[in-house]
Amino acid sequence: MPSAASSKAAPVRIPAEDNEAVVRIGRRDVTLTNLGKVFWPDLGITKRRLLQYYADVSPYLLPHVQDRAMVMKRYPNGAYSDFFFMKRAPKPRPEWIEVCTIPHDSGNIIDFPMVQDLASLLWVINLGCIDLNQWYARCDDVDRPDYLHFDLDPVPGADFDKVLQTALVVKDALDALGMPSYPKTTGSKGIHVYIPIVRGPLQKQVWTFAKALAQSLAAQHPELITAEYRVAKRPHGRVLVDYNQNAWGRTLASVYSLRPRPRAPASTPVTWDEIKRGIKIEDFRMDNVPERLQAVGDLWKPLLQRKGRCQLEKFL
């Protein structure tokens, strides 16, 4: 698995004046365009600042996305405008952009880009991507993920305090099973809880386990939690423990991803103590997450390590 040390690089500064620039990173030249385009009109945040944020957090971010297919979610006109998903690495592209070739049941064979280093990270962000959405499994075996997760999302009528309460319920259930768990804000409305697993179970098996646990929690805490996948059937004021994002080919916003929402929040690892004390989504933003990383480091480093991973086979 990638290590944080392997991704350390000299600081890169995005040119402050030019609207287009070529940035030299190691032996690679990255062409950056439309640097003055405003991506958050209410904040005056430009594409230049978006790129600079990712350059600043790249030593912490890159180990979490390396060797994985990347689904591009492109916002060509900024955070509050229309977006579109793109799976195939566009052409022409630099020869140093690596791809992950994945056959699909439809018969399509898709060459996804991979974000392997700072140069490829900036290349992807320059396409208008605000957040990163990598596969759960590495490219050498796309059917066997490295983690399972729960996406805790408030149903209308539920506030963020209920999401935090639900996160602690999920943690208690995982603790009882001896499973280590690591939370992060989604940067949108909820919390992601990730469990590092020893690679082995197929993605469908991981999904099946997550579904069973989510439904069990919903049965035990019906006034707080729902696991109902059908939107129209979800009870008002509950928190969805979404297991379905564990399905093959699905993605969630990566750790340290910015989100196209007011105040430019970032999906940020937090401690369980912080969740107990109470946090807000907007506590973690483009303007303060790099400083937080300098202070606390990568709280999700255990997700990169071989030790301490759950043997999910015991529960299948």
Decide if 246 contacts 210 (C-beta within 8 A).
yes
With CA atoms as reference, report the closest residue to 64 among 131, 7, 113, 110: 7
Show me where the domains of the chain are located: 1-134, 141-316
Mean pLDDT of 4-11: 49
Choice among 11-20, 204-213, 254-263, 269-278 with the minimum mean pLDDT: 11-20
pLDDT at 8 over 70: no
Mean pLDDT of 170-174: 99
Task: Spell out the residues 6+ positions from residue 160 whose beta carbon is closer than 8 angstroms to its own.
Answer: 154, 189, 280, 281
pLDDT digits (tens, 9 = 90+) for 56-85: 999 999 999 999 999 999 999 999 999 999
Candidates 3.90.920.10, 3.90.79.10, 3.40.50.300, 3.40.47.10; CATH matching 141-316: 3.90.920.10
Side by side, which strands form the sheet with 84-86?
Answer: 84-86, 70-74, 129-134
State pTM to two decimals. 0.95
pLDDT digits (tens, 9 = 90+) for 80-105: 999 999 999 999 999 999 999 999 99
pLDDT at 3 over 90: no
1-134, CATH topology level: DNA primase, PRIM domain (3.90.920)
- In the DSSP assignment, the letter for residue 253 is P
Mean pLDDT of 159-177: 99
Two domains, one topology: 1-134 and 141-316: yes
